[in-house]
Amino acid sequence: MHQNGTKVSRIAGVGLSLGALGVVFGDIGTSPLYTMKVCLTYMPEVERLSGVLGILSLMFWTMMLVVSIKYVTFIMKAGNRGEGGIFALLALTHTKDSATATKRGIGIATIIVLAGAALLYGDGVITPAITVLSAAESFTYISPVYGPYVTTIACVILGGLFWLQHKGTMTIGWLFGPVMLVWFVVLGALGLWHLLREPAVLWAVNPVYGFNLLVQHPEQATALLGAIVLTVTGTEALYADMGHFGRRHITRAWYFIVFPGLLLNYFGQGAYVFLHPADTENPFYALAPDGPFKLGLILFSIVAAVIASQALITGTYSLTRQAIQLGYFPRLMITHTHAEHEGQIYVPLINQLLAVCCIAVVLGFHSSSNLAAAYGIAVTGTMAVTTLAFYRVARERWHWSFLQAAPLCAVFLTVDLAFFIANLHKFVDGGWLPIAIGLVLLAIMHTWKTGKNEIFRRIYANEITEDELCVIARSEHVTRVRGTAVFMAGNPSGTPLVLLHHVKANKVLHETVVLLSILTDKVPFVRQEDRLQVREIGSGIWRATAHYGYMESPDVSAQIERIRDAGVPLKPQGATYYFNREMIMAGGGARMWEWQKHLYAFLSRNARQARDYYRLPPMQIVELGLPIQL
């Protein structure tokens, strides 16, 4: 079964699992490039050998607890019609919190989930930077002469990667899965080769070694945990991309390919350190023998790093569209890069901002070791938020008892907070960066949602009923003219303000009037049979309501065709679309901070126009100015 409940053949299932390797596991699959190297920096040279078993033990149990048990076994069951991601949890838990939101703004639980989503943007900046930078550093293993050019190489790779985004992932996406399959096979083979030479490192599966390492080195415990979390970077992608491949196929890819490959490689690196205790080379690249094999591994790691970065970038696009559809982000230009695949999108502004920020981070931190000091806060913060949201889903949607949900989530949260607290010491060294990015995005999402709620409450929730609208339409003071007018209505009841302004100013109304509302439901996709409802109000006036999921982009032109097919006498090519053009001014009595009013006004001025977002022909649009003082 796929995520939407349709059956897939065995060959198609293998293809989905293979695709998951390229999209879902790219980030966690490139963690071996730098994780062991960073962990060893916190081990005194005299205790390097004894510390390796503890490090491997912590790596093994971290992947078991966080990935295999928390995400694969439990979190990925919390799908919204097969779709995952932090906004899917928000949609699933948007129950009691909705009532609070209508009275006081946005509920506390919603703000917590939004904070987790905001931290993902911080992760979206740092992950491509640290992954590509670590791959660029591998050139120094070919020759030290490349040392001064590492940041330049990384910036060129990132620049080329972001430039290619507008072409879409379809043309290269089919390569990702096979390439990453080979990557994980290479990881496992290299690790197994060294593991067979020093199998004693397998004792590290005993959790006592990890526990003893933390107890015996309390001064390094916090830093060690902050480095160990690098083994599970990208875990959120398993849940976020669940809708593309299905839980079953992601699970199979994890247990049969990814997990074995990672374990063998990490244990192989540990075995190498055992055999070469005085070697300070990055243990990952040391696994390959000198010569063509090492050069091939270096070049292959660069390709894998680019793929890992691509997965995070496209995930940010999807996150942005979901935020827009759920009303937490201003409208932006969204380009669909493939006619048959709705999920393949490109968001130019987000791409440009990510490119600038990633390159700036590389230039600011210079090395993957320095950047690792800033890495982890965003990842662990999002993991903790996911646990809290999962608890609400288990209690409110699955009706688990307190004794069923609380102990399990308490274990998850203890692990999450342990890693989060362990990363707080990185704040001064650069950990402030993802926090700052997250705070900016949280302020934007909170301000936009609060502002839209305030405008809806004050402007769109008018009390002109449908019966009163019919009276206005039949008034002798209103002239009916030929043609069709489509008035975009934010509220699927009552009368849109743009219609009242139009009648007041022009004293005319078209023979056929359609009040069209575009609503975003708390589901990822809406079935075509549930998409549109049309009913006649009277006096040539019709009301239509089109429903979209938060993973979909609205297409009003397509709905107008369906409205005509439903019996409304209109010609799509001759219809005129009426919009309000909101002109926001601060200084009013809205329930917002003054800085939020100015920020909302700025966002409103720079948001993509509704006429463009709804894919309407510009020659058929009329906008009426609507000054609003918040």
| pLDDT computed for residue 182 by the predictor | 94
Euclidean distance between CA atoms 574 and 570, whole angstroms = 8
Model pTM? 0.81
| pLDDT computed for residue 344 by the predictor | 64
* Residue for token pair 């601060």: 586
Mean pLDDT of 420-435: 85
Mean pLDDT of 221-241: 86
| pLDDT computed for residue 541 by the predictor | 94
Q: What tens digit of pLDDT does each residue of 258-301 get?
A: 999 999 999 999 999 988 888 878 899 899 988 888 889 888 98
Residues 6+ apart with CB under 8 A from 475: none
Q: What tens digit of pLDDT does each residue of 496-525 get?
A: 888 988 898 889 999 999 999 999 887 888
Mean pLDDT of 327-339: 78
The total domain count for the chain is 2
Banded pLDDT at 407 (limits 50, 70, 90): very high
Residue 488 burial (CB count, 10 A): 22
- What is the chain's mean pLDDT, rounded? 85
Banded pLDDT at 337 (limits 50, 70, 90): low
Does residue 502 sit in the same domain as residue 414? no
Mean pLDDT of 323-341: 77
For residue 250, the cross-strand partners are: none
The β-bridge relationship of strands 541-548 and 576-585 is unpaired
Q: What tens digit of pLDDT does each residue of 553-563 get?
A: 888 888 999 99
* Residue for token pair 């300070």: 280
Residue 99 lies in a domain: yes
Question: Pick from 482, 519, 486, 518: which is nearest to 502 by CA?
Answer: 486
Residue 604 lies in a domain: yes
Does residue 513 sit in the same domain as residue 539? yes
Residue 584 has pLDDT above 90, yes or no: no
Does residue 319 sit in the same domain as residue 394? yes
| pLDDT computed for residue 433 by the predictor | 87
Residues 6+ apart with CB under 8 A from 163: none
Banded pLDDT at 547 (limits 50, 70, 90): very high
Euclidean distance between CA atoms 8 and 371, whole angstroms = 42
Euclidean distance between CA atoms 242 and 320, whole angstroms = 17
Domain end marker among 452, 481, 496: 452
Does residue 88 sit in the same domain as residue 172? yes
Does residue 131 sit in the same domain as residue 194? yes
Residue 3 lies in a domain: no
Distances (CA, A) of 606 to 121, 284, 351, 582, 610: 20, 47, 17, 12, 12
Residue 376: CA count within 13 A, CB half-sphere: 34
Here the CATH number for the domain that contains residue 126 is 1.20.1740.10
Euclidean distance between CA atoms 117 and 256, whole angstroms = 30
Does residue 437 sit in the same domain as residue 489? no
Q: What tens digit of pLDDT does each residue of 62-117 get?
A: 999 999 999 999 999 888 777 788 888 888 875 444 434 444 457 788 888 888 88
Contact 186, 28 (CB under 8 A): no
Residue 4 lies in a domain: no
Q: What tens digit of pLDDT does each residue of 128-179 get?
A: 888 888 778 878 877 788 888 989 999 998 998 888 887 765 555 567 788 9
The β-bridge relationship of strands 576-585 and 621-629 is parallel
For residue 510, the cross-strand partners are: 481
Say which range, 263-272, 425-434, 455-464, 608-617, has the weakest mean pLDDT.
455-464
For 234, the token pair is 């990208």
Euclidean distance between CA atoms 237 and 30, whole angstroms = 14
Does residue 367 sit in the same domain as residue 332? yes
Instruction: Reduce the DSSP state of residue 492 to 3 states and report it.
Output: coil
| pLDDT computed for residue 65 by the predictor | 96
Does residue 132 sit in the same domain as residue 183? yes
Does residue 382 sit in the same domain as residue 489? no
| pLDDT computed for residue 103 by the predictor | 43
Domain end marker among 399, 429, 452: 452
Residue 285 lies in a domain: yes
Distances (CA, A) of 624 to 26, 289, 577, 616: 48, 70, 11, 16
Residue 177 lies in a domain: yes
Contact 82, 296 (CB under 8 A): no
Euclidean distance between CA atoms 605 and 608, whole angstroms = 8
Does residue 280 sit in the same domain as residue 313? yes
| pLDDT computed for residue 170 by the predictor | 53
| pLDDT computed for residue 464 by the predictor | 81
Euclidean distance between CA atoms 507 and 509, whole angstroms = 7
Does residue 425 sit in the same domain as residue 475? no
Euclidean distance between CA atoms 25 and 30, whole angstroms = 9
Mean pLDDT of 194-207: 94
| pLDDT computed for residue 96 by the predictor | 46
Contact 427, 377 (CB under 8 A): yes
| pLDDT computed for residue 368 by the predictor | 78
Residue 584 lies in a domain: yes
The letter for the amino acid at 192 is L
Domain end marker among 390, 418, 452: 452
Does residue 379 sit in the same domain as residue 510? no
Residue 1 lies in a domain: no
Mean pLDDT of 456-463: 68
**What single-letter DSSP state applies at residue 487?**
E
Q: HEC profile for 146-180?
A: HHHHHHHHHHHHHHHHHHHHHHCCHHHHHHHHHHH
Q: What tens digit of pLDDT does each residue of 40-69 get?
A: 888 766 577 778 999 999 999 999 999 999
Residue 2 has pLDDT above 50, yes or no: no
The domain containing residue 150 runs over which residues?
10-452
